[in-house]
Amino acid sequence: FHDCTKKLDHPCFHPGLVGLDMVIKSIKIKNLKVMYVGDGADEIFIGYDWFTSTSSDANLKQLLDGVSYNSFKLIEPAFKTNVKNVNIKNLNKTLIGLNVEEKLRYINQKIYLSKWLYSRDIIGMRHSIEIRVPYCNTKFLELVNPTKSKFLKDKILLKTITKKYLKKSNFNRKKLGFTIPIRSWLTKKILNKFLEKIDLKNIRYYNYSYINKILNEHYSGKKNHIRFIWTLISFELWKK
């Protein structure tokens, strides 16, 4: 976690980046120089669950919550600030006139996917591995993006194209992401070591009473706040 954070010029916003760093290390040992990844397939061919589970009258914060590792409602109270997020205001202007599906496609490709591509590239370069993303070819995007969402949902178009190349069993499997076992990695003992070094109580921009409440809920098993804790620690590690 700490080692991966040092490689980035931004907080390690998702544990998947640590997983990628570990995979690339194993590739480097085998003396491989190029790695192909499937980034962009879900964003372009509407493969994520949030495309179908989002309400048609959802506001921008709700849309961003759907594609984010953490919720605004959970993160914002952790900070002692009344500063308004200017980026959200500007994004709202950009999305005027678009329906929910169109907004989600924009957010997925322009915000969600972009940060992953940038981070993957940095981690790859640190290990002298070139990471290639065939789905993000400009001409390919220009060809697919004008297609209406109903013809893309659940990767229908992509599945149709690949049927003659893959086995039938590949299309009946449940969607499975690159899951990282952070709950078993970040035990209470390890978390306490991190948190003692950070000393949250004496950092003036944090609402410590709120953070302490979240930590107690997590440790007691009342709620799983591991994503919140990951975000908090990753930010502080990066800041230092």
Q: Is the pLDDT of residue 3 over 90?
A: no
Angstrom distance (rounded) from CA 18 to CA 24: 10
For residue 29 the two structure tokens come to: 């040992």
What's the pLDDT tens digit per position in 130-179? 999 999 999 999 999 998 888 888 888 888 888 889 888 877 777 777 77
Q: Give the global pTM.
A: 0.81
Q: What is the pLDDT of residue 212?
A: 93
Q: Rounded to whole angstroms, what are the CA distances from 158 to 23, 44, 104, 161, 181?
A: 26, 10, 19, 5, 29
What is the average pLDDT value for the chain, to the nearest integer?
A: 86
Q: Is the pLDDT of residue 201 over 90?
A: no
Q: Which helix (H) or strand (E) holds 131?
A: strand 130-132
What's the pLDDT tens digit per position in 101-130? 888 889 989 888 998 999 999 999 989 999
Question: Which residues on adjacent β-strands are paired with residue 32?
Answer: none
Q: Is the pLDDT of residue 214 over 90?
A: yes
Quickly tell me which residue has 């994520």 as its tokens. 48
Q: What integer is the mean pLDDT of 220-226?
A: 91
Q: Is the pLDDT of residue 19 over 70?
A: yes
Listed residue (66, 40, 38) closest to 52, CA to CA: 66
Q: What is the pLDDT of residue 92?
A: 87
Phi and psi for 56 in degrees, rounded to 5? -70, -15
More confident residue, 57 or 52: 57
Give me the helices (H) in 8-59, please: 16-29, 41-44, 50-53
For residue 115 the two structure tokens come to: 């940060």
- What single-letter DSSP state applies at residue 216? H
Q: Rounded to whole angstroms, what are the CA distances from 7 to 1, 60, 238?
A: 10, 31, 10
